[in-house]
Structure 1
């Protein structure tokens, strides 16, 4: 069941290796862990499909950014794959070219290698692969965010013109509205991750991003609310619709 599918969860980890802790302003780091982590997304998106989840916090290495800062628009805000600035644009981590290279070798490249290998296996076995990129987002725009619209939806679906199945998105929108949830396409976040080996080259690789508004399932301290299980069921039912 769901053999053709791959769940990608890049931002749920809270783990920061001990040797990197001295690089951070710890007071700012505590706040960033709260607001920037995709809390419990590894649980929300857990289903019978294989999951590729990042091992360390995005504050160590953000694998959703391009490898080269010249290609990554967020790098000008100090939020490329190696964050040096916080969500409210404060410097909170010392930059070290040596450590950036170490993190590339230790975390970034192996993660993308695992993701690409999992896609290749599905293409070999089933002739197609659908990546579901699982995230959450803050109920109000954080200072660094480009989308300043206050009226944020319950669910955001991120799409790619080449890789996202349009019929699936339409089906999901109808389903979510039937559940009484508000939904927007590519707002407040846009796009869908595809390994560079396949990006804009192989239509057999599909990808769609699901972003869940945190107000649906956690409180302001990152604790699960009573609605957590209901939200998880909604997401799991969505995933099953993609089978």
Structure 2
């Protein structure tokens, strides 16, 4: 396979003195034709799967927050569907998500049906898309460290109001905004700032139904100047599910995210 096109992901520059990177990995629906050929679903079933799996409009929430923030944050945006590769998994992950067919390259759907055929080789997709993405995100964090002495990764996601079959830990609370944390990279001040910023959205919860954060492996567990938080927004707070139009909640969420960015920049 050839190298990825520049449009497979995009780093949108912010202010030189901003330490914040808004990371948007799952907002896109686009699947290149050669990758589409390896997916077993027909066109209708694929569109329904995308309705369920895409973190719809999170790129617009991040864009709105960047416009509203006093100091413009940086944005790292995946321009391809997570059905191509999921940049937040690990390619050698031997844990539960891989076992569920939702590793770095998915082989199962949200409803646990077959997405790719038996014997599918993920390596070409990892080489073409996953590794360049990881290197570019690492470089983005390195750039913020060099420029400001710290980096703050805010992972912008969304999740459905009703548990999908692929969710392995979806039987807990489903708050308006779930805050995913990491014991090393999520300091109390970051968590407090997020709770305050999203207080008016409908309530926040911690690590349910999703937990953890995204930090490039070069810095994970070893660089305290890199902090991170996952923001999982319940979709019924801003859109019609599944895959429907956005509503007024989108603007409120962009403003709340901008408040968080401003607090972290200060």
Q: Is this a same-fold pair by TM over 0.5?
A: yes
Structure 1 CA distance for aligned equivalents of residues 197 and 127 of structure 2: 41
Q: 1:174 matched to which residue of 2?
A: 196
What do the CA deviations read for 1:191-230 (whole angstroms, capped 9, x no partner)?
0111000111110111111111100111023211132212
Q: 1:185 matched to which residue of 2?
A: 206
Q: 1:31 matched to which residue of 2?
A: 48
Kindly indicate whether residue 153 of structure 2 is the aligned counterpart of residue 138 of structure 1: no
What is the number of equivalent residue pairs in this alignment?
240
Residues 180 and 81 of structure 1: CA distance in aligned 2, closer, same or farther (over 3 Å)? closer
- State which of 106, 110, 118 in structure 2 corresponds to 1:83: 106
CA deviation after TM superposition for structure 1 residue 21, in Å: 1.6
Question: Does structure 2 conserve the Cα–Cα contact (< 8 Å) formed by 1:52 and 1:114?
Answer: no
Kindly indicate whether residue 59 of structure 2 is the aligned counterpart of residue 42 of structure 1: yes
Structure 2 CA distance for aligned equivalents of residues 30 and 41 of structure 1: 18
Structure 1 CA distance for aligned equivalents of residues 143 and 172 of structure 2: 41
- State which of 69, 92, 96 in structure 2 corresponds to 1:73: 96
Structure 2 CA distance for aligned equivalents of residues 180 and 202 of structure 1: 32
CA deviation after TM superposition for structure 1 residue 189, in Å: 0.6
Structure 2 residue runs of 5 or longer lacking an equivalent are 1-14, 67-71
Structure 1 CA distance for aligned equivalents of residues 152 and 226 of structure 2: 6
- State which of 161, 182, 192 in structure 1 corresponds to 2:183: 161
Question: Does structure 2 conserve the Cα–Cα contact (< 8 Å) formed by 1:164 and 1:208?
Answer: yes
Q: 2:7 matched to which residue of 1?
A: none
Q: 2:18 matched to which residue of 1?
A: 3
Structure 2 CA distance for aligned equivalents of residues 175 and 51 of structure 1: 19
Could you say what secondary structure the match of 2:76 adopts? strand
TM-score (norm 1): 0.93
Kindly indicate whether residue 255 of structure 2 is the aligned counterpart of residue 240 of structure 1: no
Structure 1 residue runs of 5 or longer lacking an equivalent are none
TM-score (norm 2): 0.85
